[in-house]
Structure 1
């Protein structure tokens, strides 16, 4: 037995990262799968008549050792990977895919599940138990349990292939991100860049034994460069490099992989009796069907497009007047938007950053969570971390009981993918009368502290931190019986509600006063800055909405139809973007080849859910605004009906219980200035 398959003897049962070696993983996965198979066999061979307890409940808790190993391994694969871990992932993914199919395609096991499902109306189950039964039955039926043997085998082959392809896709994106460096030796090429960005580039160059400054495609380096660098040619170089990830006809090219993934997903859906992959996915979403999603996106497009075109025309005119730019290109967008924003609101990130020291913002998120939900966060140093940058906390409720363990990992490094996400190492569940508390983590890529400055966040990074922290609260405050209905285990187009609603507090004077203090003087952020943050919140919202919609439409393009006729990825994208395009096309760039959300993450046929959840979050936050943003009663209702309930009931039932009615898009359109 390896360290990963025995019971952890650590504080709060946390992962013993420092004792885990890469070579432990493969044997641990092998043992974990064997152990889970024994548990499944026990359910299948139980001589008693199938009941909810001996079949559905037993199945819900089976394989927890394997889940724990998977959580630790795949979280490291995203946040602290290396060649060895990537190699193990390639070996392990097909094994896990095969095991998952061994369960869903096991006829004896399905017969037991079906027997319980067929008598569900007579079983007197709680809402949570009813949901679990429904989910378990559909988990089999929707994944091939009713298929003849030859079709089951076809499904196995497709799933094995898909698991390998999505890993390969992600590794190519990561390697392409790290392959590019822009080395600058002439100081005049730094014109316009903030001091902090220049200092970080200097430190990176030093660490690489180079003179001058090095810029990369990691967000804290890339975003400031394309936003502030006066040198248009260098902005172009950076932007093209970023947009060309996976699209360079080299050994890291993702074009074939994308086409294969889209076609395999379609084939899989057909085998299961669905028209397309999107029909399969959306059956288990609030949106229900591709038709509904397309209508939703189209409706927003109709409302946002006139505003977006007007904003783009203003921006083009501004760039022409300022610098004689004849055609506004993609590498000009962020640069001139920032200049126009400064002119209109006299507000820029460099002015705001001193008020958003990372530690203060994190403390601010903690304070808001305390005022709303009575949580306290105590930093602890006696549990293991997987990297020295990670911070660890005990989260407690008002009576001092442990609510969760919380990990926070904020800085970019080699081996960590770009972006920001929330994840968990251990789900919450109740077993044998014990409420097992979750271990939750957020991972971001913010600017590292330098020799002279702490990590100071842009306002966009402040909202990112609050967003991921909202997801974390969904995980932390979970209070359900079954692990697979706990925390963020909800319909995908509902999962962004807790994260997106939490961003709203970043715009409220009452909340900002709690944490937005100047890192040198301690002065609270001036009221006029807060006013400007609020005023500028809907700046270029039409363009931003169009951008989001373009990603949602591209996703539906890949997954809402038969993709087998697509031979040229770039041509296909051009078609999909026709209705949303503002900038001239860049022939060297493609979106899909690095669109990790849908080709590596879980967002295939689900990218629309960001916008969908925005409708929910704007509507829900309006309730807070009406009653007071720290109103105890509204916060309690949100905690009881949304955050603690996980996926135990249909999201619309939960939402209406919180809000008293169904959401309307009016609050979102008003907030975005699109009404």
Structure 2
């Protein structure tokens, strides 16, 4: 009996075996095709209900099964799952094409779309109809048969290539370890990092200490290790993922992906992939994104150059370093920050015990949005590390199921993300509530210490939880417009705005308590956290802009002449470069956001959303960070509305006006007086 093909509400993780996926996906595709056939073969005149709504509710079983499968391929994968992913991805790509290239179906959709003026639709219904029509038009429905066949071939290749790209990055991450046996090599490292490295060595039946390319291991080493040669070794390994002369090399894959994307865009009548993508974003065009990025660059670059010069002088004075390299940045920044603000990340960590931070983010959500979280132990999980919670509102009504998965493992990709196992929708009069998950890679507890987070990890947790709130509080009729199904450059607003609470005394007092004494974080630390928040903000802004501009360079021009990934990348970085180039390293070959995730032509959206989040949080600061009226406006106009209206309309309804970059520049200390 295949648990994925039985009716289930909550994902039956413990009953699923790898061999269940392929038959389940195959059968769910057949079921979805039958649902499509039912719409196509309906002899009644196409209406909003029998075509538009019916189509939105198709493929539910398939969506549930594939969300489980692909989420596990990111959070708990193995060779078998990766092999299945390579097999089923082309099936799914083919199935999506079968829908968007189905002429009879498109005819019905178009027929409803052409009469929309006479239908008296609500804004949400109008949005669903327009999104659906564009979904066909933008994916080849108007193409001739030859071009449709070309599109299918491109999509199949792309789905395989991006999977292969991700597998190569994960393989490179897992293949490297820095195994140390001389305690002198650990000089400068905090006890917590040493203990974690020792524990890892022990788990691998080795003496000494092991450091890896997983963030909780990599970042402390790069920030604190005094041994410059070892920092270099680790940095070179980190920066050369997918760029080595081995079977995991991603250079050809990068070129294949950008060329196929460009061909696809041309086939659909767009100048470039970026023009195709941005048509449906707040930013609208690559030109606008580049202008937006260059405006910020103009403000940030003088500050970044000043900060970098200071850092160079500081490293020279301290250790007689003649040329600051990439593996020196975090190390000397941390030392300088400690000197300037008398703030040591390690002194802060005891106040950020993971469990307390979780309670803190829950308490913030309770005060703002009247949500309540209760850990439950009767929900099936895909790994023992995962925690599960029931979320209810102030009247005890069920809001959502929430999964949280916090620590690195061998089968889990680096980074942090939010995802969903079940979308919210209203069907047959029932408001079906969502199942939402966040996945992070935080330092594991050790024998002597609980999981203590760096301040950066605290903001990461708040960030992902902001996305989770967007999913949990969804309250729309149609699942394709629900939760985080919004413009990509709007999706980061809820996540980034929530990070602001980490810097506020009123919020920190709720959860930043010393794990041994229970003492609330001293106010002098809170003040220092706030003071140091804009430390090296010029350099940080430059770095973030450089990634967005690299993404735009890859996707806003014809890439067919590009032969060297490295050379192309160096040119793209020319305006934002601070450190000398490292010949052995390449960013693009492990830039998973744009070559494996959904951020191609969209990486700028982090900065775009920062403008929104700084402007939005200013509203909270004016009225009080736990002001119920502002929180309700944010919940009712942003969090619960999903993609039911254009983002700028929703934002203006919350804020009363369009956002300006001033709040961001002020917060970042980049506004010249």
TM range (shorter): over 0.9
Partner of residue 524 from structure 1, selected from 517, 520, 524: 520
CA distance in 1 between counterparts of 2:387 and 2:328 reads 37
Alignment partner, residue 212 of structure 1:
208
Q: Deviations over 1:49-88 (max 9, x none)?
A: 0000000000000000000001000000000000000000
CA distance in 1 between counterparts of 2:617 and 2:205 reads 50
Residue 253 of structure 1 pairs with residue 260 of structure 2 = no
Alignment partner, residue 306 of structure 2:
310
Residue 54 of structure 1 pairs with residue 50 of structure 2 = yes
Q: Deviations over 1:404-448 (max 9, x none)?
A: 000000000000000000000000000011100000000000000
Q: Deviations over 1:506-562 (max 9, x none)?
A: 000000000000000000000000000000000000000000000000000100000
Residue 286 of structure 1 pairs with residue 301 of structure 2 = no
Alignment partner, residue 104 of structure 1:
100
Query: Residues 284-433 of structure 1 correspond to what in structure 2 (within 5 A)?
Result: 284-433=280-429
Residue 227 of structure 1 pairs with residue 219 of structure 2 = no
Alignment partner, residue 454 of structure 2:
458
Alignment partner, residue 172 of structure 1:
168
Alignment partner, residue 622 of structure 1:
618
CA distance in 2 between counterparts of 1:503 and 1:292 reads 27
Q: Find the residue that maps to 2:83 and give its secondary structure.
A: helix
Q: Find the residue that maps to 1:657 and give its secondary structure.
A: helix
CA distance in 2 between counterparts of 1:121 and 1:665 reads 37
Alignment partner, residue 4 of structure 2:
4
**RMSD between aligned residues:** 0.4
CA apart distance, 1:348: 1.3
CA apart distance, 1:249: 1.7
Q: Deviations over 1:122-161 (max 9, x none)?
A: 1000000000000000000000000000000000000000
CA distance in 1 between counterparts of 2:92 and 2:84 reads 12
CA distance in 2 between counterparts of 1:35 and 1:565 reads 44
Q: Find the residue that maps to 2:5 and give its secondary structure.
A: coil
Partner of residue 664 from structure 2, selected from 631, 645, 668: 668
Q: Deviations over 1:92-120 (max 9, x none)?
A: 00000000000000000000000000000
CA distance in 2 between counterparts of 1:439 and 1:662 reads 32
CA distance in 2 between counterparts of 1:358 and 1:346 reads 24
Q: Find the residue that maps to 1:441 and give its secondary structure.
A: strand
Q: Find the residue that maps to 1:422 and give its secondary structure.
A: strand
When normalised by structure 2's length, the TM-score is: 0.99
Q: Find the residue that maps to 1:4 and give its secondary structure.
A: helix
Alignment partner, residue 544 of structure 1:
540
Residue 128 of structure 1 pairs with residue 124 of structure 2 = yes
CA distance in 1 between counterparts of 2:428 and 2:260 reads 42
The alignment of Structure 1 onto Structure 2 pairs a total of residues equal to 671
Partner of residue 198 from structure 2, selected from 195, 202, 225: 202
Partner of residue 445 from structure 2, selected from 449, 461, 465: 449
Alignment partner, residue 37 of structure 2:
41
Residue 559 of structure 1 pairs with residue 555 of structure 2 = yes
Q: Deviations over 1:465-522 (max 9, x none)?
A: 0000000000000000000100000000000000000000000000000000000000
Q: Find the residue that maps to 1:520 and give its secondary structure.
A: coil
CA distance in 2 between counterparts of 1:31 and 1:412 reads 33
CA apart distance, 1:6: 2.1
CA apart distance, 1:5: 2.0
Alignment partner, residue 27 of structure 1:
23
CA apart distance, 1:2: 2.6
Residue 150 of structure 1 pairs with residue 146 of structure 2 = yes
CA distance in 1 between counterparts of 2:492 and 2:185 reads 40
Q: Which runs of 5+ in 1 are unaligned?
A: none
Q: Find the residue that maps to 1:435 and give its secondary structure.
A: strand
Residue 643 of structure 1 pairs with residue 633 of structure 2 = no
CA distance in 1 between counterparts of 2:596 and 2:518 reads 43
CA distance in 1 between counterparts of 2:5 and 2:179 reads 46
Q: Find the residue that maps to 2:4 and give its secondary structure.
A: coil
Query: Residues 653-664 of structure 1 correspond to what in structure 2 (within 5 A)?
Result: 653-664=649-660
Alignment partner, residue 574 of structure 2:
578
Query: Residues 491-530 of structure 1 correspond to what in structure 2 (within 5 A)?
Result: 491-530=487-526
Point out 4+ residue stretches in structure 1 off by more than 6 angstroms: none
Residue 633 of structure 1 pairs with residue 622 of structure 2 = no
CA apart distance, 1:3: 1.6
CA apart distance, 1:372: 0.2
